[in-house]
Amino acid sequence: MLKALKARIQQKYRTVPFPKGKGVVPPLLRAKPEIKSAKCSHCGKCADACPTQALALQQNGPTIDAGLCLFCGECAAVCPSKAITFTNDFRLAANSKDALVFPSGHKLAQPLKPELLKLFARSLKLRQVSAGGCGACEADTNVLSTVVFDLARFGVQFVASPRHADGLLITGPVTKNMESALLDTYNALPEPKIVIAVGACAISGGMFCGHNETAGIPGNIPVSLYVPGCPPHPLTILDGILRLLGQMPRGR
């Protein structure tokens, strides 16, 4: 016991000061895209370099669909006029796919309806389903339960059974052999319930968009929160969940 107490004192406080603090992210993190349309020469190199067709060249300049984007940075690398850059601003989550389009369409996630906030704002249990994912989004989701991010301090926890859950957190492109399992899990959740799609694969199929063996999230499963990224940074996921629960300080 004494050794454990000594180690705890030496380690000090490890939990990130979020959301009161800004949150620490790697300086090389590619997150929120920044597009300077005035600099665009309409050469088309950025669109040609995009592996998922997340980037479209419009009359007013390029647009990026963060729900399709892998944040690989290829578009920024080939742009001769440097009209496209990626910042390390991790705030990306939105309530709809349309709100994931940069630069003009992006809108950060808004809180749930008041009747749902009364139920979930202080206590939210999530069942996580990996629907054919590579493991990256799953890893960055699991790390939220560690001492660094301490998701439980916000009243949010992952549970083993959908019968004990208030919501579903989906990762992966939803392969056809996982579609029925995902539907069974969703139907097992008691009403009312929410759904969170984490990562490009869950949102749009990502690299597997349009593949014959990719089903995507069924249309009869309504999604309340989209968290883009490949994979999204843990703070991106945490930020989105807290916004959905109305736990973000004003002005953030």
Q: What is the pLDDT of residues 35-88, one digit of tens each?
A: 999 899 889 999 999 999 999 998 888 999 999 999 999 999 999 999 999 999
Query: What pLDDT score was predicted for residue 104?
Result: 84
Q: How confident is the model at residue 234 (pLDDT cuts 50, 70, 90)?
A: very high
Are the C-beta atoms of 31 and 87 separated by less than 8 Å? yes
Are the C-beta atoms of 79 and 46 separated by less than 8 Å? yes
| pLDDT above 90: residue 24 | no
Mean pLDDT, residues 147-162 taken together: 94
Q: How confident is the model at residue 105 (pLDDT cuts 50, 70, 90)?
A: confident
Based on DSSP, count helices (H) and strands (E) in the chain, helices before strands. Answer: 8, 10
Query: What pLDDT score was predicted for residue 101?
Result: 96
Query: What pLDDT score was predicted for residue 179?
Result: 93
Q: Where are the beta strands (DSSP E) in 97-177?
A: 101-102, 124-130, 156-158, 167-171
Query: What pLDDT score was predicted for residue 111?
Result: 96
Domain boundaries, the chain: 114-244
Are the C-beta atoms of 199 and 206 separated by less than 8 Å? yes
Q: Among the CATH numbers 3.40.50.1580, 1.10.460.10, 3.40.50.12280, 3.40.50.2300, which is that of 114-244? A: 3.40.50.12280
Query: What pLDDT score was predicted for residue 19?
Result: 87
The string of pLDDT tens digits covering residues 166-208 is: 999 999 999 999 999 999 999 999 999 999 999 999 999 988 8
Q: What is the DSSP string of 6-66?
A: HHHHHH---S--TTTS-----TT---SEEE-GGG-----HHHHH-SSS-EEEETTEEEEET
Whole-angstrom Cα distance, residue 227 to residue 233? 10
Instruction: Note the pTM of the prediction, 2 decimals.
Output: 0.93
Q: How confident is the model at residue 13 (pLDDT cuts 50, 70, 90)?
A: low
Write the single-letter amino acid at 47: A
Q: How confident is the model at residue 2 (pLDDT cuts 50, 70, 90)?
A: confident
Q: Average pLDDT, whole number, for the chain?
A: 92
Whole-angstrom Cα distance, residue 179 to residue 16? 36
